[in-house]
Structure 1
Amino acid sequence: MDKVILVKIESHKDLLHFRTSEADIKPEDCVIIQSITGEELGKVVKHFGETFNCTKGIPAIPEILRKADNRDIENFSKKEREERRAHEYCQNRIKDREIPIKLVRVTFFTTEKKAIFYFTSEGRIDFRDLVKDLARKFRMRIEMRQIGIRDEAKMIGGVGICGRQLCCKTFLNNLEPITLQMAKKQNLNLNPVKISGMCGRLMCCLSYEEDEGGRIVIEDQDERVGYDEEEDLAEDKK
């Protein structure tokens, strides 16, 4: 039986759940976790103090590798400095070659000599010369990976019109399709400014009122609703 902790990954600030059997892990401790790019440094945000047992049919929560020591922290600080230098160099090469792309993030692998350069672009781009520049400079395998505008918002993060951190940055693992019909069913103001997120696309939270069958679960105006053991009136939000 392990305990569940919430960890902020230092390289991209995502919040993810992990499990640990170490009893001395507490908030603000640095830990090492496994990702697709190798080992990553994270900081414990919350310790739920609950026992956890994997049940058949439920995806297993990954386990932390170990508690980070000073050497781990120094290695990841060095990795971040190298990624920032690579980002700056790539940005300059993009400008010099007048390539119409926007560089979003650079990630170095810790398990192999490889780096991923994430970018956005309105169309297909020939960046073969740019890849040659990067490979010559950093002596490693280079991958240019194009991402969508919603993925860019997820990587960068920010604060939504609700005043909270973006859902895609904090807890949404999958970016599901959002339709205008979802807003219409909720009788919301269809002004694009009101129902669009920082990415310029429809807000992910428009889907939160739908049940599994695609029906909107919403109270009628002036109907009393319960929340945190208190009652209030459902108001017209148009």
Structure 2
Amino acid sequence: MGRVSLKTVGVRFKRASKVYTFAAGDLELRPGDRVVLETERGTALGKIVSSPEELDGPPAQPLKKVLRVANEEDLQTEEKNRVFEREAFEECGKCIRERNLPMKLLSVESLFDRSKVVFYFASEGRVDFRELVRELARRFHTRIEMRQVGVRDEAKIVGGVGCCGRELCCAKWLSEFAPISVRMAKSQNIALNPAKISGICGRLMCCLAYEHKMYEELSRGMPKVGKRISTHLGEGKVIRRNTLERSFVIFTDGGEVEVPLDEFKARKGELPPAKPEADPQTNSKENQSQQRERPKVRPPRQRRPKQGAGQPDSGAVEQLRQEQEDKPSEAGEKQPRENAPPSGSSRRRRRRKKKPSQSRETKKDG
């Protein structure tokens, strides 16, 4: 059995929309032809944008077919649909204003056979449009679909002029939106001013992604701004990068010096590493962080033996003995008795003896 080939063509339904692949069958088609196609939503009129190609083997997904080349009657039907879409836009706008709904109507799309009409609108939040759909279905006697779109799709549908003075890319030729990040603006040395890097939709401009890959390739191996390096032209800090010229500028003791990137790479192995700058603030912060990270080791606590009540401290007794041995004994000092009772008990006995003696003296005086 021979290999079965399938002839396919690329078709676009609107300006700047996606390109869909359809099976051409035995039809002789060329780019620019208007054709009637079979789609998931029904019959539609499209325009061929690519030459027929032979597809070897079965496709990953079943393809819809091109029914026929559009004739004069099909083109007249398409023109009538455009007039109907303008009328439906005005009628829907009146209904929205009457009900004071928080939504902005953008466009209206009618299928080729008018089996369904799609209304595209933008809104900041959710909108309860059930009553609106019932009113539109009663007026147009067909199926109604309300589809909410985002700010980027809103700019694509409405169109406009960008800050460059040209028509918006999304409205003219851009078929899909790519993810855009601030990193793309940084790699191209663009000032991070929201007013300059944002489009009319309020999002980052799609054109930031056009040259992002080229800038990444050109800046590969280039030192970052703020890094201190040593070059064959001197040692200094990188203050600016010229990506398109493949060079960078360093600030040395003698002033600004431009260093070509190719020469810097060629002599990079011959040069000693640059001395890091001494920043007192960073050094103090590092020392503080190191001191915080060091664990605090406390010496073991020495426990003193517990002493009973009325017993003097052994350390204090030793100190008193040493002082008495060092100092000469003074004359007239009374030596304590060897078998003398403790100080606390002697005071108690004296107080007991004094009380009766005082009472006897008072009796004699009396």
TM-score when normalising by structure 2: 0.49
After TM superposition, give the deviation of residue 112 of structure 1 in Å.
7.2
1:231 alignment partner in structure 2: none
User: Aligned equivalents of 1:82 and 1:22: distance in 2?
Assistant: 34
Contact 1:37 1:110 in 2 (8 A): no
Secondary structure of 1:137's partner?
helix
1:118 alignment partner in structure 2: 120
1:235 alignment partner in structure 2: none
User: Aligned equivalents of 1:56 and 1:205: distance in 2?
Assistant: 37
Instruction: Please tell me the root mean square deviation across aligned C-alpha atoms, in Å.
Output: 3.5
Contact 1:158 1:166 in 2 (8 A): no
Higher relative contact order (CA 8 A, sep 6+): 1
Contact 1:30 1:68 in 2 (8 A): yes
Percent of pairs with identical residues: 39
Contact 1:32 1:41 in 2 (8 A): yes
Instruction: Note closer, same or farther for the CA distance 1:34–1:149 as it changes in structure 2 (3 Å cut).
Output: farther
Deviation readout 1:91-123 (Å, 9 max, x if unpaired): 111122222211012222346733221100112
Could you list the structure 1 runs, at least 4 aligned residues long, displaced by more than 6 angstroms after superposition.
55-62
User: Aligned equivalents of 1:56 and 1:139: distance in 2?
Assistant: 41
1:190 alignment partner in structure 2: 192
Contact 1:33 1:39 in 2 (8 A): yes
- After superposition, where does 1:28-107 map in structure 2 within 5 Å? 28-44=32-48, 48=51, 51-53=53-55, 64-107=66-109
Secondary structure of 1:53's partner?
strand
Between stretches 58-67 and 108-117, larger displacement belongs to: 58-67
2:240 alignment partner in structure 1: none
Structure with greater proportional strand content: 1
Instruction: Note closer, same or farther for the CA distance 1:131–1:47 as it changes in structure 2 (3 Å cut).
Output: closer
Contact 1:32 1:40 in 2 (8 A): yes
1:146 alignment partner in structure 2: 148
Unaligned runs of 5+ in 1: 225-238
Secondary structure of 2:106's partner?
strand
Contact 1:159 1:166 in 2 (8 A): no
Q: Match for 2:169 among 163, 166, 184? A: 166
User: Aligned equivalents of 1:54 and 1:194: distance in 2?
Assistant: 48
Between stretches 87-96 and 30-39, larger displacement belongs to: 30-39
Instruction: Note closer, same or farther for the CA distance 1:90–1:216 as it changes in structure 2 (3 Å cut).
Output: same
Secondary structure of 1:216's partner?
helix
User: Aligned equivalents of 2:150 and 2:109: distance in 1?
Assistant: 17
Equivalent AA in structure 2 for residue 144 of structure 1: M
Rg larger for: 2
2:245 alignment partner in structure 1: 222
Secondary structure of 1:206's partner?
helix
Equivalent AA in structure 1 for residue 166 of structure 2: G
User: Aligned equivalents of 2:167 and 2:57: distance in 1?
Assistant: 32
User: Aligned equivalents of 1:36 and 1:159: distance in 2?
Assistant: 34
Equivalent AA in structure 2 for residue 104 of structure 1: L
User: Aligned equivalents of 1:216 and 1:152: distance in 2?
Assistant: 31
After TM superposition, give the deviation of residue 126 of structure 1 in Å.
2.3
User: Aligned equivalents of 1:61 and 1:189: distance in 2?
Assistant: 47
User: Aligned equivalents of 1:177 and 1:199: distance in 2?
Assistant: 14
Structure with greater proportional helix content: 2
Number of residue pairs the alignment of both structures matches: 216
